[in-house]
Amino acid sequence: MKKQLEFFFDFMSPFAYLAETQLSALADRFGLEIRYVPLDLPVAKLAAGNNGPSNRQVPAKLRYLTADMQRWAKRYNLPPLVFPSNFASERANRGLFFAIDKGQQRDYVHQMFQAVWGRGEDMTDEAVLRRVAEGLGWSGDEFLAYTVGEDSARRFAEANKETHDRGVFGVPTMFVDGEMWWGNDRLQFVEEYLASQSS
């Protein structure tokens, strides 16, 4: 069985988007399977005991983080990120379990992040969700129903519980061999860890 690189994320996060653009190449280079775990970031913060405002509610921090994410985009040779009009990511997050059952989780996460932060699309808009689903060869109706159904609700609740139990308080968070790293800016640490293990 392949070693796992676990990726805890929420589609609302631009830094999770940035990390995802690098993740597949990293996993392939070290022969890892990526396990994607979607989570509700505001819930994860509260569950960790952080009842403070979101970064979007702290103007100076939002201004800086916006500059910072564009610096990273430049570093990764990506176009500038486009802020979506909406940060309500629950249906997009829950849709991951549909993708897992189809064995297409990697493509789903990539395509959804491209829609949200690559193009700034509104992930609460059913037309957006449908387009991603149909682009992956699925029935749009089936996918839309799944994202509000019982199965995705149960699995998303389990993922949020696992998030809390494993001490995840922010995204993106990566695990390899039980080691944890938080932040797009720690991908280099993950890479160095993997290189040290494979040498």
Question: Which active-site residues does the annotation give?
Answer: 13
The rounded distance, in Å, linking the Cα atoms of 78 and 75 is 8
Identify which of residues 110 and 169 has a Cβ nearer to its own copies in the complex. 169
**50 scored as a contact of its own copies (CB under 8 A):** yes
- Is residue 188 a contact partner of residue 171, using CB atoms and an 8 Å limit? no
Chosen residue from 25, 59, 150, 199 binding its own copies by CB under 8 A: 59
Render 96-114 in DSSP notation, one character per residue: HHHHHHHT-HHHHHHHHHI
Identify which of residues 79 and 167 has a Cβ nearer to its own copies in the complex. 167
Assign 35 to helix, strand or coil. Answer: strand
User: Which residue, 114, 116, 106, 107, is CA-closest to 136?
Assistant: 107
Identify which of residues 48 and 153 has a Cβ nearer to its own copies in the complex. 48
Q: At what angle do helices 14-29 and 187-198 cross, to 10 degrees?
A: 10
Chosen residue from 67, 150, 196, 199 binding its own copies by CB under 8 A: 67
Query: Where is 33: in which H helix or E strand?
Result: strand 33-38
- The count of chain residues that interact with its own copies, using the rule CB under 8 A, is 25
Which residues, listed in sequence order, are joined to residue 37 by a DSSP beta bridge?
8
The contact mask relative to its own copies for 148-177 (x = CB under 8 A, - = no) is -------------------xxxx-------
Q: Which stretch binds its own copies (CB under 8 A): 85-93, 116-124, 133-141, 182-190?
A: 182-190
Residues that bind its own copies (CB under 8 A): 48-53, 57-61, 63-64, 67-68, 71, 167-170, 180, 182, 185-186, 189
